[in-house]
Every structure is written in structure tokens, then in C-alpha cells.
Structure 1
Amino acid sequence: MKATTVLAVVCVAACLSIHASALSPFGVGRSQLHKKRWWSSVDVNDLHKYHLDDDPQGYFGYLTQPMDHFDPLINKHFNQRYWVVDKYWKSKSHPVFLYEGEEAELELGEVAYGHHAEMAQAHGALILGLEHRFYGNSTTKEGLLLSELQYLSSQQQLADLAVFRVFAEKKLGMSGTNTWIVIGGSYAGALSAWFRLKYPHLVYGSVASSAPVRAQANFEGYNEVVAASFADPIVFGSEKCVASIRQGFSKIEQMKQAGQLAQIVKDFNTCQDMTDPNDFKTFASDLQGTFMSAAQYNYIEGNSSSIGTLCQQMMVPDPYQALVKMFNPGSTCSDVSFKDFLKLLTDVTFDPGAMSRQWFYQTCTQFGYYQTCDKNTTCMFLPEVDLDYYFAWCKGGYNIPSSDVLEQVNFTNAYYGADNPRGTRVIFVDGTIDPWHALSVLKDLPEGLKSVFMKGTSHCADMAPNDPDAPPALKAGRLEIEKIVSGWLMQAEMEKKHK
């Protein structure tokens, strides 16, 4: 099955990813996670360039958690995996950096490496990582049944964090005066912000990278940012590039309206005849996903970038043929069957590496995040990718009607405060090229809620380790994060002395 590039994942995101591996970040794959971390592609022999250690010296354990923290009569439990990286921890009273897991298996490299690890080293801090319930190894073999998925929610995960916070303090013999900072990116970034806002007595501050804290069913803004990013010269885009992309997709739409669907099927070599409207929508989603992924995970090196490379491919006399070549360069037909996609969503087979069924369930029950291409927007792609297409996921995969999706999105925003939350000591970090910034906090708010908004940077770019070749805006952003976190730790020490 061809990996679909529907990025309906807050970011569902793949933070720090260079290649689209699925909802991933990118180029989201129908059967993959959209979150392949950046350093997953770094050769061990190159670690010195990033001042990384090829031996993170971490270990994992399991904590038994209630399946439902809010109903003591539910007698169900699961084992949740956590990671401990204590190589920088100077003493039992030094700070703790709590790394929140996302909608995927949480691996040691993600916890042990990155900008947060560099800050931990500078401050002698302990690094802990908690895998998200129902992902990776933190679930049961029955965990993908609908009867069990009802316990999968952001609220339950925040309660998991609270229990783990108390457990870890005792398990590791902490002094009880440690200053805790919670860190996360993409959906996990939203969780890190919400943990600080909902449990301010348990963590002192939060760094929320590319955090889509405003739930939205019809996320039109995603593809509007994609269009703006492909027009931005700072990442080697241009208005001419956008015009070429529009031209290519417009020809497909014109051919479809003219009854030339069979020719589209032949040109793009799809396995289905696409007479089923949802098959054509799946095809449209797959085709645009390449561009969405490039924007979300744009990677700049020297005088080239992911966006710039695609622009070079599209700025040709016949952009339609460029799309044909891009979509299916091989001889095997491309599966665009919507029914096959629903089989993926309804597959309840236990697999630690799977995430699609769980994550899309969360989008249907809490967040939406559906990247549409409505006609009244600046979207460059095909208008067939509409809200009804995503609602068909929810109905076909989980028997959740559209009215329930909309109701739960509204509740999520009421519960957390959307992009106008109230609280203290949260840094919202975003980049102008990342489409998810449209759902984040982009300006300072009262009581110390800070925004670090970097020009020309992509999804969770700040979370990667410091790179001497990083763009100036990214370097400045990381320095600002370090300055704020250092200030929090100093303030916490002063408060302890005055108690």
C-alpha cells in the first residue's frame, strides 16, 4: 500500500524529522508513524559534529498505571515504560528534565539526545522520559479494541505524568526540592504545556515546541501555511514555484471535471479506477502529502532545502507531468483504496511500532487537526480533500459521527484554553515554515507565557542538537530558550532560599 501523506497528526506529528515517514512527519504514511526523529538518520561516526555521545547510558523501567485515573471502580491497569538518563545528574537535589512521549514508541535516543539534553548537561540535570499510554510498549495486547481505546486521552496521559512524577521522586531518591521542567514537541509539546498549566504544583516550567494547543476540526490554516512556505525565498521558495504547483494540481482538477478520470488513472498508475469518490480523495491526499511533508520538515543545507528541491522539480514547462513522475516513478501501481486505509484504522493487532489506529482515534475524539483544501483558501492542491473525507475516517474506523468530533474539539479548547491559555512559565516555540504554528501561541501572554517564533524554521527544529551550520534564526531561538530556562532555574533556587 502506498504510504498516504495525510498529516492529520498534530504534528502528528514527527518532530525533528528529515524524511517523511508517515503522518509523519512527513510524508505521512498510512501505515507509518509521522514521527521519525531527526537523529534517527545520523550516522554514529558523525555524532562528534553535534557534540553527542554514542553511549547515552540510559535505562528503562515500567510503572503500573490505572487504566482510568478518574474512576476508582475501573479495575484495569497497564504497564507504562519510562526512561532514565542520569549521566549528567550532579546530585539528588539537582533539576529534572521530564521528556514527554508523543504518539509513538519512545526510544532512548529521543530522550537522551537533543537540545534539552544539552541544557541538562549544562545544569547538571536528570533526564526522564515517559512513553505515552497506548503507544509503543505502554499498552496491553487488547489495547487497540474500542473498549480499551476509551481510556486513551490527553487527560489520562497528563494524569499518568502526575503519577510518574511522584513515583520517580521516590524511586530515584530525590531530595524533594528538585526543580522540574517538562519538555515535548508536536502533540507532546501540547501535552507539556498542558501539564504545566493543569498541574503547576508538579513542574516549574514547560518548553512546548511546535505545540498545536488549539484543537480545530477544519484545519484550513495548515495548507495555507504550506503555500506561504513554498513562496518564501528564505527557504528557496518563490511565487513562481507556487504558481507551478497550482498549475499542476489545477490540471488534474480540470481533467476530472471534464470526465477524464480514466486518463488520470493511467497517468498516475493507480491500482483503483477511482470512481469511488473516497478513492480519489485518498489519491489527492497522497499526492499533496509530499509538499506538506516538505514544509513541515523542511531541511536546509547550504543553498538548498526540501522546499527548494521540490520547486526545482515543479518549475518546468509541464507541472502536471512533474506530478506524475513524482507520484509514481516505478512500475508498480499505487494503492489509493479508501477501504484498504480503513482496514489499517480497524486493525486491532498488537504491534509496539504501530500508531495509526491510536492516533487517529485521538483526532476523532479530541483534536480534529484535519488538513483540508477548501476552495476559499490559498491551498495549492485539490479541493476534494475536504472535512467530509476525514469524518469518513472517524465513522468508518471507530463509528464516531461528525457531530461528536465537533463537540469534542470544542470541549478540548474549553478545557485547555486553546491558543489563549492562562498560567505561568511556558515557552511556546514555533517556526514560520512549520504549518502547525497556526495552532500554537505566537505572542507573549500575561504571567510569563513566552513565544519564541523563528523565521525560516520547521517543525520541532529547535529540539535537535545544536548544529554549527544551523540558520541564524534557529541558533538565536535556542539561545532564547536556554536563557529563559536558566532564568527559571535561578528563580526556583531563590524561592527555595526564601522559604
Structure 2
Amino acid sequence: MKISLVILINLSIFFLLIDGLKIQNHHHHQHHLSLTQPLSLKYSNFQVKYFQQKVDHFSYSNNDTFEQRYIISTEHWKSPNGPIWFYAGNEGDIFTFANNTGFMWDNAKKFSAMIIFMEHRYYGESMPYGKKSMQNLSMAGYLTVEQALADYADFIVDIHMTINGARSSPVVIMGGSYGGMLAAWFRIKYPHLCVGALAASAPILQFPDIYDCEGYNRIATKDFTNYSPKCSESIRRSWSAIRRLAKTYDGRKFLSEQFQLCEEFPEQLVQTLIDWIANIWGTLPMIDYPNPADFLSKLPAYPIKVVCQYLTEPDSNDKQLIQSIAKAISVYTNYTGDTECNKINESNDRLGTNAWDFQACTEMVLPECSNGVDDMFEPEKWTFDEFSAGCRQKYGINSDRYKALIMFGGKHISHTATNIIFSNGLRDPWSAGGVLETLSDTLIAIKIPGACHHEDLRSQGPNDPKILLEAREQELQIIGDWLQSYYKQNQIEFKF
């Protein structure tokens, strides 16, 4: 199956190339390079702990347990019954999300809130069966959204029961990308365990039959075009140039040198090179933040603007065009100058690509396609049957086309759901699958023009535009209203 890796996701939410099988499925947070530096937390006054969690919440045939990691800070929490801000961990090491969700750390003192970041099962250190967790279906099969939400439910009840003074503490659940989907779904599934959810950049509508699969790549392309039409046109023309150069040994050597690959590559891997490059172009629109950041790679402020400075001559000959493309790519791969060479077959362990690939094949089926006309990528169709066939080949499973929509409602959540904020930066390609219109008095859509992927969850920075600051204030106001209402009317004391 031919594929392009043009964004996930990492949540997510998420196109992957794993073990040689090419399965089409972009999710946030999958589109980046291997990051090997050790993880630490840039905030202080926290503890890292482990919770003994059930592997299976829904039957009595498997009584196995595992240690689920979480980060907790009670520095600003006031007992009794101060609020708990709970981050629904998504597809990666929990430290990555804790470091990039400054919104919670910045505002906890104002709300006297306890902060908890819980790691999603099968990611980071929270592996139910250790290194064997993804080895076969009998071990990997417990990696589902339902199990993950049940993890958070059991843990939240335990916090109420075991932390002195927390018996009636209201919980606000937050998340970005796939974590934002989990936050919204947790509020829908377990409304008695949280007063509301902040679901940032949560593409809960990016599922088969309700989503235009070209949406992501159209927005990604527009982000480049808005800096310069010549920028996106250079990228659009580069694919055929790469393919022409890859037909000869000298051309492949040239490509290897320009992109600083760790080794020369045979002609049959040209698709892998194209996927690697497309992956980067698909990732940058998520993280074109106004301040320097290191979420997926160390980058300057507005990295696409820096990239486009190199892409000014789309009419160049093949070698000149690729030289400019390579310089532009290096903004992502080697902005600090520390990268010795690039391995195009490696994925980002920090964002758990193997586990996400499995989830994308089972119930997180997020269609992505391109036509090469309304976007700058090579044409790539998406069909459910072809996608599911790839998953069957890889895991021996059929993709569950409608499961997420059946479980959580898709477009039909306004009948019963309450107290969810859906925030979306409109330059974020994942917003194409997000909730962009307010559905009821308590299902609020906050659109942030100019913002990227869960930018509102990041720490306030010196270059943050006014509209982003106002969006954060609106979110805090709504959260404050939820808490005020809870304390006045709806306190729940957990005694079970």
C-alpha cells in the first residue's frame, strides 16, 4: 500500500511507518523525528508516583495489575475539598505532556488546585506487561479508549478516598489532542466524577463517514501558503524532483548528502524518504507557535516562517530545488546544530508510535487523504477497506469503523453531554476534525484564529497574541463557573 506521512495525533493524536508496513493513519503527535534526550520536568514541587491499576476493568477473567505512573503537585491545593485539575494522559511519556501544559501549572495557584498528570496505559513507563506489552494480541488487546478512561475513573475515586481532605474535591479534566478527546469522552462517560472538561484541539469528529479526509492537509498547506505561495509551491514540486533524482546512484547520493541521512539509501526506499519529509511538513503546522518551543523538536518562534525563507524559487532545477528543501527541513531536524545525521526509518519513542499504531488500527480510525491540488502533498486516497486490510495484515484485526461514534456520540453529544469546552486553534490542521461551533449553553466552542495545536494549554509566552490570552481567560472563567456551581449546589462526597 502506498502512503504518505503527512499528518498525528500524536495525539495525536497520526500516519505511521512501522516494521515496514505502511498504514495510513495520521494522528497528532506522530509526525516527528526520534527524540532521545532524557525527560525531566521543568516545574518544581511535584512528585512522581505509581498507582496499582487493573489491566482489565470489564471482565473477571484477568486479574493482572500494573503500575501506572502519574505526576502530582499539591503545592497550591487547599484542603479540604480544593479542586483537582486532572490531565488525561495521551499517546506518550507523561513528562512530555506535563512540560507542555503550562496552562495548568500557571493557573493552579489562582484556583488552589491540585495538579495531576496521569500516564496513559501502554505509554511511557505504564506498560501492563513490560517490554512484552505490544508483543501479541493477548497482551496488547487491553489497549483501548474504554480501558484508559476506566483507569482514570478508578484513579480519581482512589484520590478522593485516600488523600485527606479530597473526599469532596471537584475534578476538572483536561487534555490536548488525543488527550483532549479523552477529556471530552471522560466527561460524557463519567459525568459524576468530574465537573467539566477542557478538550483542546480534540478531533472527536475526525472519523469515517463524518469527516472530509482532505481537511487536515488543506489547512496544513494553507499555513505554508499564508507565509508565501512560493513556499508551498516549492514543496508541491519537490516530490517529483526527489523521484527523478532517486532513479540514479548519483542522484540518491546527492539526496542522502543534502538531507544529511545517516546512510545512502537504495531506490526502493525513496517512498520512505518522501514519507519522512512529508511527515515534517505535516507536523510543522501543528507547532508553528509564536514562541520558541521544544514539544517535538527544538524550534524557533514561528518555524514555518523560517522554513519559507529558504523556499522562494519553485521553478529551480531539481538539484537547486532539493538543496533549498533540505535547508528548510533542517529547521526542524537540526535547528540547534546538534544532529549528526538523520535516520529516516526511526520514529519518536517519546510519543509511543507502536502503541498508537495499534490504537489507530482498532478504534481510533482517523482518515487522512490528499489530492495534490488543494494541498501541497502527493495525491493519496483513503479508503476504509484498504486501511483495514493493512491493519489485518499487521495485527490480525479488523478496524472498528464506528466504535468511537457509537460509544461517545460523535456529532450527537448535545442531547446529553454538558460542561465541555472545545478549543481549537484555526491554524491547527486537526481543527478540521474538531467541534468548531457551540452546541449548547454548556458545550462551548472556542475558536482561536492564528493559534496552532492545543496552544491554549501551553504556558503564557512573551509573543502570545491578545486573542490567545483572551481564549485562556475565557476558559478559566468557564472553569471557575463550574467550580462555583459545584460548591454551591452539587457537592458529591465519595464514601464508596
Structure 2 length-normalised TM: 0.79
Alignment match, 1:364: 361
Pick closer, same or farther for the CA change 1:397–1:263 going to 2, 3 Å: farther
Q: How far is the alpha carbon of 1:243 from its aligned partner? A: 2.6
1:450 to 439, 444, 448: 444
Q: Per the alignment, do residues 482 and 462 of structure 1 end up closer, same or farther by CA in structure 2, a change over 3 Å counting?
A: same
1:143 is displaced (CA, Å) by 1.4
- Which residue is equivalent to 1:242? 232
Pairwise CA distance, 1:397: 3.7
CA contact (8 A) 2:220 2:429 kept: yes
Is the CA contact (8 Å cut-off) linking 1:7 and 1:13 kept in structure 2? no
Query: Cα–Cα, structure 1 residues 427 and 456, in superposed 2: closer, same or farther, change >3 Å?
Result: same
* Count of matched residue pairs: 446
- Report the equivalent of 2:19: none
Q: Is the Cα contact below 8 Å between 2:196 and 2:420 reproduced in 1?
A: yes
The one-letter amino acid of 1:9's match is: I
* RMSD after superposition: 3.7
Mark the runs of 5 or more structure 1 residues left unpaired by the alignment.
15-21, 45-53, 346-350
Tell me how far 1:417 sits from its aligned partner. 1.9
Contact (CA 8 Å) 1:24, 1:32: kept in 2 or not?
A: no
* Cα distance in structure 2, aligned partners of 1:106 and 1:59: 13
Query: 1:417 pairs with 409, 414, 437, which one?
Result: 409
User: Separation in 1 of the partners of 2:84 and 2:120?
Assistant: 19
Structure 1 residues 313 and 112: alpha-carbon distance in aligned structure 2, compared to 1, 3 A threshold: closer
What amino acid is the match of 1:315?
A: T
Alpha-carbon shift at residue 281 of structure 1 (Å): 3.1
Query: Do the aligned residues in 1 keep the contact of 2:371 with 2:377 (CA within 8 Å)?
Result: no
Looking at structure 1, the residues matched to 452 and 100 of structure 2 have their Cα atoms a distance apart, in angstroms, of 22
Contact 1:374/1:386 (CA < 8 Å) preserved in 2?
Answer: no
Corresponding residue for 2:21? Answer: none
Question: Which has the higher mean CA deviation after the structures are superposed, 382-391 or 95-104?
Answer: 382-391
Instruction: Please give the alpha-carbon distance, in whole angstroms, between the structure 2 residues aligned to 1:91 and 1:452.
Output: 32
> How many Å separate the matches in 2 of 1:137 and 1:27?
21
Give CA deviations for 1:369-408 in whole Å, capped at 9, x if unaligned: 3543335x622022258669966763454234xxx22xx1
1:80 Cα shift?
1.2
Decide whether aligned partners of structure 1 residues 8 and 127 sit closer, same or farther in structure 2, where only a CA change above 3 A counts: closer
Indicate which of 460, 467, 470 corresponds to 2:461: 467
Instruction: State the shift of 1:280 in Å.
Output: 3.6
Match of 1:102 in 2: 90
TM-score, normalisation: structure 1: 0.79
Match of 2:306 in 1: 309
Alignment of 1:137-148 (within 5 A): 137-139=125-127, 140-141=129-130, 142-146=132-136, 147-148=138-139
Contact 2:45 / 2:75 at 8 angstroms: preserved in 1? yes
Do 1:83 and 1:108's aligned partners in 2 also have CA atoms closer than 8 Å?
A: no
Q: Distance in 1 between matches of 2:108 and 2:86?
A: 10
Q: Which runs of 5+ in 2 are unaligned?
A: 15-25, 293-299
Identity between Structure 1 and Structure 2 (%): 26
2:72 — aligned with what?
A: 84
349, 352, 371: which one aligns with 1:355: 352
CA distance in 2, matches of 1:69, 1:475: 40
Confirm or deny that 1:441 pairs with 2:445. Answer: no
The Cα of 1:295 is off from its aligned counterpart by 0.6
Residue correspondence of structure 1 range 275-424 to structure 2 within 5 A: 275=268, 279-301=269-291, 305-316=302-313, 318=316, 319-326=321-328, 355-369=352-366, 371-375=368-372, 378-383=374-379, 394-395=391-392, 397-400=394-397, 404-405=398-399, 408-422=400-414, 423-424=417-418
Asked if 1:268 corresponds to 2:255, the answer is yes
In the alignment, is residue 61 of structure 1 matched against residue 57 of structure 2? Answer: no
Task: Write the letter of the residue equivalent to 2:90.
Answer: E
Q: Which amino acid aligns with 1:59?
A: Q
